[in-house]
Amino acid sequence: MSRDDIAAFFDMDKTVLSKSSGMLYTQHLFHTGQIGWWEMLLVLWSMVKYKLALVDWPRVVQRFMERVRGQQEMDILAEARRWFHELIVPHIAPLAVERMAWHREQGHHVALLSASTPYVVGLLAEYLGLADNYICTRLEVINGVFTGRIVQPLCYAEGKVYWAETYARERGVNLDRSFFYTDSVSDMPMLQRVGCPVVVNPDYRLKRYARQRGWPVETFY
């Protein structure tokens, strides 16, 4: 039986990474004086709600858009490249990388599937040798400038299913035979969409769901 129609999708934050890239970036902004205590606390609260699938993620992304509207995309990417190796690389989970390598050996497609933006997800995919095999929240850019709008739907919750199905159609992938690795209960739609859901480092709520459904529960870090 051919294996080239199978994909292994990996969530990024708290799955491939042992930390939240959003939190790491916020700490970077705080330590470099670009945001103050109040904005830092708002992000911390948003991270708590995200973990519990209670956050209004479009609103969180829109706040980010307000920061970058009118800026050059190349400037944001250049800034991201400056802090990527210092902030992100140390938190890559070795066991996640090993699992990706195993899937590649099996002839599976391997891709990142994240609610974050290309300015982290794309850099991580590049670092891991995944080329353009990543799916994430896209920000509208016209003539190299951020418009302040988001390419819909957001790659979050049901939006992840939409973009994964698009990826699958383009590459001849059968999602009913494919894998998805994640730590987040907000990814329940995608966990239910694939044939081989895998829960990684979950909190109690997601662990309980996984056990009820007989899904594997693994530890990457």
For 145-195, the pLDDT digits (tens) are: 999 999 999 999 999 999 999 999 999 999 999 999 999 999 999 999 999
Dihedral sign (CA 30, 116, 200, 213): positive
**Does residue 1 form part of some domain?**
no
CB atoms within 10 A of CB 39: 15
> What confidence score (pLDDT) does residue 22 get?
82
Tokens 């035979």 map to which residue?
A: 177
CB atoms within 10 A of CB 169: 10
Q: Is the separation of the CB atoms in 74 and 198 below 8 Å? A: no
Higher pLDDT, 58 or 147: 147
What is the domain-level CATH number for residue 185?
Answer: 3.40.50.1000
pLDDT band at residue 104 under the 50/70/90 scheme = very high
Tokens 């989970």 map to which residue?
A: 93
**Full domain range(s) for residue 13:** 7-218
142 DSSP assignment: E
Q: Which of 2-6, 47-51, 197-201, 203-207 has the lowest mean pLDDT?
A: 47-51
134-157 confidence digits (pLDDT tens): 999 999 999 999 999 999 999 999
Q: Is the separation of the CB atoms in 189 and 170 below 8 Å? A: no
Structurally, the chain folds into a number of domains equal to: 1
User: Which residues are CB-contacts of 82 (< 8 A; sequence separation ≥ 6)?
Assistant: none
Tokens 């662990």 map to which residue?
A: 207
Name the token pair of 176: 């009913």
Residue 184 region, left (φ>0) first, then alpha (ψ -120 to 50), else beta?
A: beta
> What confidence score (pLDDT) does residue 49 get?
66
Cα 111 to the chain's mean position, in Å?
10
* C-alpha dist (Å) from residue 136 to 99, 148, 161, 181: 20, 17, 11, 15
Dihedral sign (CA 168, 62, 86, 70): positive
Which residues does residue 150 pair with via DSSP β-bridges, in sequence order? 139
**Does residue 2 form part of some domain?**
no
pLDDT band at residue 32 under the 50/70/90 scheme = confident
pLDDT band at residue 62 under the 50/70/90 scheme = confident
